[in-house]
Amino acid sequence: MKSLFDVKGKKIVITGGAGVLGSTLAMSLSKLGALIAIMDLNESKAHEIAETMKGKAKGFKGDVLDKHSVENAFQEVVDYFGAPDILINGAGGNHPKATTSNTLSFFDLPVDKLRFVNELNLLGTIIPSQVVGRMFAERSEGIILNISSMNAFRPLTRIPAYSAAKAAVSNFTQWLAVHMAQIYSPKIRVNAIAPGFFLTEQNRFLLTDEQTGKLTERGKKILDHTPMNRFGAPEDLVGAVQWLISDASQFVTGIVVPVDGGFSAYSGV
């Protein structure tokens, strides 16, 4: 059983790897013996995180919305580590001006901010998948893991662009899984995880009060609908990720796995 989940020596590229979730995955997988390429627009942060992994990681600058930038970054990864075995598409996020509020109605959400959120999450998944997927197709083997969201299952209030974009990521995951298996090789697998509610820099003060640390009304509603009655910790993603990128899931492709404390299973009554 231990060998089924083994990722030792696997070369893994994580886009958005300097973020809270991406960096936790990077550090956890490096402890399991994987070699990690941390790709992020924030190059200094990527290098800073990589330096904590004692030679098992290196930071690379890459803009997931610029195909030329991604191609250059992946060539640097190949030159340094060799061809990657696994791509984790971790880049994504929302924008405050693509979020409705008491002062910003849905009708007034700026189109450029809606476009930014859609492109960051969807194109930011598709473009690296094109670049690395070509490498996988050439050698008929490889794994792509996307990061969707609970918003893809149940759209949340206030964040229309993010919810729609993550739903598109889930759909693209299924499409790409079929495409790669049928056209190139059944040994190319594509899956996704859908995190529930995790405290990150992006949403911390939407869910907790910045001054008191107490739950906001939105945070309370989330926990009231989460049977495990807590927010996720980044480390909670590691087990599902390790399963999906290891031989333990070698007959699994095209699925989106909720990691949500039961949120998606609970009707509220």
Which among 178, 182, 193, 67 has a CA at the least distance from the CA of 132? Answer: 67
Cα 195 from chain centroid?
Answer: 9
- Beta strands (DSSP E) in 123-204 are 142-147, 188-195
Token duo for residue 196: 């529930």
Token duo for residue 85: 């075995």
82-104 per-residue burial string, b: 16 or more CB within 10 A, e: under 16: eebbbbbbbbbbbbebbbeeeeb
The residue from 80, 162, 184, 266 that is catalytic is 162
Token duo for residue 245: 């990128």
Task: Reduce the DSSP state of residue 6 to 3 states and report it.
Answer: coil
State the Cα–Cα distance between residues 206 and 69, nearest whole angstrom: 33
Exposed, middle or buried, 263 (CB in 10 Å: 0-12/13-18/19+)? Answer: buried
Which among 253, 246, 255, 248 has a CA at the least distance from the CA of 85? Answer: 246
Residue 80 annotated as catalytic: no
Catalytic residues: 162
